[in-house]
Chains A and B, each alone.
Chain A
């Protein structure tokens, strides 16, 4: 059954690929929808029959790489952590597949799109079921390629393939760290198999790795390297620049890959490695700090963007930051909990935004929207549900998971935990604010679109609204439904061996016993944010512009995304090309060839020319040369006397 869950989407993708070659849309839909829907069904069955009773299973498929001690198998590991990811991935993927049938109905290459989606789902499932780090890396890069293909799906647009390439290359920077982390662990433990690594970790606390004469704690080095990988995939501060640009892809892609599943792979990796990270406290501190900084940093940018998808993209970035700092304070179940609820409400928000874009004839700029809530009431309601869940309003999913994270950060009672908590509270305010800024700008106020566009505004077809509805159910219910199971007092029974928290660390228990005001604070700041946004954007839109002008430098800083792209361009991109050109012209051509083959051949030619000039044919030239020779001989003879 596990194999079927993983490989059905692949079969669907291959079928859709063949359909793409045959230019048969219906066949493509049949293959890909059958594959992913069956996979989702089996995923839930596996979750209920295996994860909840606590049955772990590993399915061996084949040998992959076997060289000396380096043994890597293709094997599917199914434990609770995997099971949770499987239901998230297959469910959201199935909804996105169905939604795409409607969303992409005007596109020329539908089967190709479905094939890429299936390929992505397969790679993501390989990632979450990986039994060893190399297979995880396979899935990791596999989702990267699928994401590359999907961002660049409209390959004729320059901005699309530029964003696709940027996503791939920035992710490669992260993967560079990930791969080195794998090498380090293999060197330390002699294996890349997860169980063996986890078994040997406790003995390695005092091992060191010496790099350039500096001895460093081995586990911390490996942990940081692997976290660099997670940062790339999950768009954390520094390696986040690709995510907003990735919005160039079709909106269903943003929902599936850049909100619900792929970008959470980094969080999954950190949770998966919990048995190791528990022995690497410094790494966990780094994770906490990076997560907390990303949470607030991305939220500040989200405040100022006008592209509806980019606002949600920065929100994703920020929410991933929450998950990381939860994991950083060892509250891995809380991170996974937020990952799950976030998948539902963020996919809902993205698909809702897609529905808006669809209704507005492919308009994405919120400055050109407004006043459409009566025309698309269903989408409007869905966006409200998604935003309420995101802001963490009681009884919606985000309320349970986000509060759990903030409580855990507070309960850590460490300076770094407190740091994360402060930033998390501030980010919660901003989150609520930009969410309602989005709702107000998009749906309320006077229509700012052209009359022509406004006359075409229509509710999306059933094939698009049905997935929205199902995701909305998840956004409402997944919080209280899974609360007890994931992070309740018996979290340990549910997660079993798949998550390990040092027994002396009672973070999960302490999080439930924080003071009342700590529990209530996130709610109040969220309500404050919502209120403020409604006041500013709903009642007096002109105030926003005034505020922006007063705080112009700050606004500009946020609006220009803290100038990360500009900085990277100046530091990395342009120099790389320039250095390349210099090395080529000055290094290869002028130096190596100049002194090497070309230099030698031209000196040979000069010498030969010189020799041939000597043979001038004039007797007096020869006589003169002879004279010089005779004198030289004489001189030598006299000297030797």
Chain B
């Protein structure tokens, strides 16, 4: 393990909290406070992003293990300690979190007008917790961050959300908390058995396969809700619909990735036998998620709900990829998560842009938006095409690799997964067609204001990344290659699946 001279990772994690302190110190009347709060939040989060780039530049992709490790004494000698570090799996997510937060803050520049200071505090706290979740190298520390993320998001939905915000906020909170309780029990069990909660040590510890079975299920309960996997996905559409635009961006962009990250960080390396055992079940759930939620998306009238359901379908690809247990599947799943983080954030923002103007998410209220907002139509088009996995965008690379991996693990799974590609095109094109195309007939649609500079400034960087990494994804694969290989080596199943063990899930599909 590589240690650094100064605790860059810890600083990065807690930097947004310093911003929170600043925000608390602001004095003055409402107007001044709001104005300053926005600026402080934007500056702090931008600076955090820059610092995360420093981390990226100094990251050594060829190193097999954790880098920038910070250790602190916490519960001394009990095997529980404060420890942070990154590898190729967590690095992309940290950058993603740091990248999306300033954009989310910018996205709420005008749409949030009351309690701006508290709003910004919630977002900066959220950023700290997100980065902490991905950087934690101790199971207890991870658990604390992982659970604490719920609090600011709960507040963001519950206070700045839409009409049914309280119902949605509670549903979101209780759903995810219920899953995590089981994980807490599992953590205690693991501590009892292995005598440590240090993640690298636990990954190296060989748990008894019978215990793995139960531990896997307990962790699965938590990650499946976060992901979300079918049938525990119903909190997501409600949460998205009621959340403010920026809340949706972060929720879809980063929070949904914590489940996938959890599978890669804990389930696969710590419970390898159970992962193989449960792979068929996960394939089945993922396929149901892809087909079921795509069809449900097709029936939606609410733009945000449609995109929320599409997220569940896309996350179905991720779980298929992870449990293909081969390099293409896992790399594809990772890439799909990053890509979805960018694209879904932009799509939710796209909804927010017109919501800010007409205050409705009903698809039928629009139609012919392209006339009044041509640039918006272009950005929305690129993100829509990214979402349907068009080659040349990041969406393609992730989906395609997942399916390459899935075919090697199980052909039937690959075939069913690929139907998602058809269905995905159907609901996204249907959405785009009803909102953007057509003749603008309603007066308020004709009078829509074109994108302003702030909005372009949010779309543009995401668009550039979606296209750039769609054409040259190698830069991202380079970061995670070594870490993915080391997971697979640790699992020691890589060779089994590459040679084509097609029997696993065939049986489970009941055919």
Interface residues of A (CB under 8 A from B): 21, 62-70, 74, 134, 137-138, 141-142, 145, 152, 155-158, 161-162, 164-165, 168-169, 172-173, 175-176, 179-180, 182-184, 186-187, 209-213, 576-577, 579-581, 583-584, 587-589, 592-593, 596-597, 601
Residues from chain B with a CB closer than 8 A to the CB of A212 are 412, 506, 511
**Contact present for A580 and B298 (CB under 8 Å):** yes
**Chain A contact residues, majority secondary structure:** helix
**Contact present for A63 and B391 (CB under 8 Å):** no
Task: State which of A64, A68, A587 has its C-beta within 8 Å of the C-beta of B472.
Answer: A64
* In the assembled complex, B310 has its CB within 8 A of some CB on chain A: no
Residues from chain B with a CB closer than 8 A to the CB of A210 are 411, 502
**Contact present for A172 and B422 (CB under 8 Å):** yes
**Contact present for A65 and B474 (CB under 8 Å):** yes
**Contact present for A183 and B407 (CB under 8 Å):** yes
Q: Given A62-B472, A179-B400, A587-B292, check contact A187 B407 (CB 8 Å).
A: yes
Q: Which residue of A lies closest to B231 (CB)?
A: A592
Task: State which of A137, A169, A187 has its C-beta within 8 Å of the C-beta of B500.
Answer: A187
Q: Given A138-B392, A161-B437, check contact A587 B296 (CB 8 Å).
A: yes
**Contact present for B421 and A68 (CB under 8 Å):** no
**Contact present for A180 and B407 (CB under 8 Å):** yes
Q: Which residue of A lies closest to B502 (CB)?
A: A210
**Contact present for B418 and A576 (CB under 8 Å):** no
- Report Cα–Cα, A382/B235, bound state, in Å: 63
Whole-angstrom distance between the Cβ of B291 and the nearest chain A Cβ:
9
**Contact present for B473 and A64 (CB under 8 Å):** yes
Given contacts A65-B474, A165-B433, A588-B234, could you give 5 more A-B pairs where the C-beta distance is less than 8 Å?
Answer: A67-B481, A138-B391, A179-B421, A186-B404, A576-B426
Which 9 pairs of residues, A with B, have the shortest CB-CB distance?
Answer: A68-B327, A580-B299, A183-B407, A580-B295, A138-B391, A581-B299, A161-B437, A580-B298, A156-B439
Task: State which of A66, A145, A152, A592 has its C-beta within 8 Å of the C-beta of B474.
Answer: A66
Task: State which of B292, B385, B436 has its C-beta within 8 Å of the C-beta of A583.
Answer: B292
Q: Which residue of B lies closest to A593 (CB)?
A: B234
**Contact present for B299 and A64 (CB under 8 Å):** no
Residues from chain A with a CB closer than 8 A to the CB of B407 are 180, 183-184, 186-187
Chain B contacts with A in 68-83, Cβ cutoff 8 A? none
Residues from chain A with a CB closer than 8 A to the CB of B294 are 580
- Report Cα–Cα, A182/B406, bound state, in Å: 13
- Report Cα–Cα, A69/B370, bound state, in Å: 43
Task: State which of A21, A145, A211, A584 has its C-beta within 8 Å of the C-beta of B296.
Answer: A584
Residues from chain B with a CB closer than 8 A to the CB of A592 are 231-232, 234
Q: Given A67-B328, A70-B401, A584-B296, check contact A172 B368 (CB 8 Å).
A: no
**Contact present for B298 and A577 (CB under 8 Å):** yes
**Contact present for A580 and B422 (CB under 8 Å):** no
Whole-angstrom distance between the Cβ of A160 and the nearest chain B Cβ:
8
Q: Which residue of B lies closest to A138 (CB)?
A: B391
- Report Cα–Cα, A161/B473, bound state, in Å: 32
Q: Given A67-B328, A68-B327, A184-B407, check contact A165 B430 (CB 8 Å).
A: yes
- Report Cα–Cα, A168/B235, bound state, in Å: 32
Whole-angstrom distance between the Cβ of A25 and the nearest chain B Cβ:
16
Residues from chain A with a CB closer than 8 A to the CB of B103 are none
**Contact present for A64 and B471 (CB under 8 Å):** yes
Whole-angstrom distance between the Cβ of B482 and the nearest chain A Cβ:
12
Whole-angstrom distance between the Cβ of B158 and the nearest chain A Cβ:
16
**Contact present for B299 and A183 (CB under 8 Å):** no
- Report Cα–Cα, A152/B401, bound state, in Å: 31
- Report Cα–Cα, A186/B403, bound state, in Å: 11
Residues from chain A with a CB closer than 8 A to the CB of B415 are 180, 211
* In the assembled complex, B97 has its CB within 8 A of some CB on chain A: no
Residues from chain A with a CB closer than 8 A to the CB of B474 are 63-66
- Report Cα–Cα, A589/B300, bound state, in Å: 13
* In the assembled complex, B397 has its CB within 8 A of some CB on chain A: yes
B325-340 Cβ-contact flags toward A at 8 Å (1 or 0) = 0111001100000000
